[in-house]
């Protein structure tokens, strides 16, 4: 089988992502994205730009609510996005290596048990079995 050209590979991967998300993002609902990467890591900024481009290209919309971890407000999110998905910025902080990000992610899951929460792609790393099991319980309790 011949190797795919980069544009063909990118299109195929985009279609896979869209196929996974098509039932969770509706045209008539606003959306939110949390954990804006207000840090010096240019890789996280590039990931953010890709996420914004994806949402605009696929759904023709920009988020109605964006927040960093430190200024997140559940009330402001509810006011701006009363229905619709809550996206969480992707990258490489799922697990206990960057515990502040994981604590934030888990808090959002607990605060919004009935909302569609979509984690953009992440690498995952846990050192602690206990912490991994705790995360699994919190995720497992979420209704979506």
3-class secondary-structure state, position 31:
coil
- Is 44 domain-assigned? yes
- Is 1 domain-assigned? no
Looking up residue 64, the CATH number of its domain turns out to be 3.40.50
List per-block mean pLDDT (blocks of 10 residues) for the chain, which spans 144 residues: 87 89 89 92 90 91 96 98 96 93 98 96 96 97 91
Q: Which residue bears the tokens 């995952």?
A: 124
- Is 107 domain-assigned? yes
- Is 20 domain-assigned? yes
Q: Given its phi and psi angles, is residue 19 left (phi above 0), alpha (psi -120 to 50 degrees) or beta? A: alpha
What's residue 42's pLDDT? 86
Give, in order, the Cα–Cα distances in Å from 59 to each of 18, 26, 27, 140: 10, 8, 7, 28
**Structural domain of 89:** 6-141
How many domains does the structure of the chain reveal?
1
How many residues make up the chain in this entry?
144
């Amino acid at each position: 089988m011949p190797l795919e050209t980069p544009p063909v590979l990118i299109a195929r991967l985009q279609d896979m992502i869209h196929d996974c998300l098509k039932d969770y993002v509706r045209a008539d609902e606003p959306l939110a994205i949390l954990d804006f990467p207000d840090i010096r890591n240019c890789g996280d900024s590039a990931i953010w730009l890709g996420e914004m481009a994806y949402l605009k290209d696929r759904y023709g919309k920009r988020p109605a609510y964006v927040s960093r971890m430190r200024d997140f407000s559940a009330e402001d999110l509810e006011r701006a996005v009363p229905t619709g998905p809550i996206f969480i910025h992707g990258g490489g902080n799922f697990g206990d290596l960057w515990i502040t990000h994981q604590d934030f992610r888990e808090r959002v899951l607990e605060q919004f048990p009935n909302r569609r929460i979509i984690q953009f792609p992440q690498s995952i790393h846990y050192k602690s079995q206990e912490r991994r099991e705790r995360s699994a319980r919190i995720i497992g309790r979420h209704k979506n």
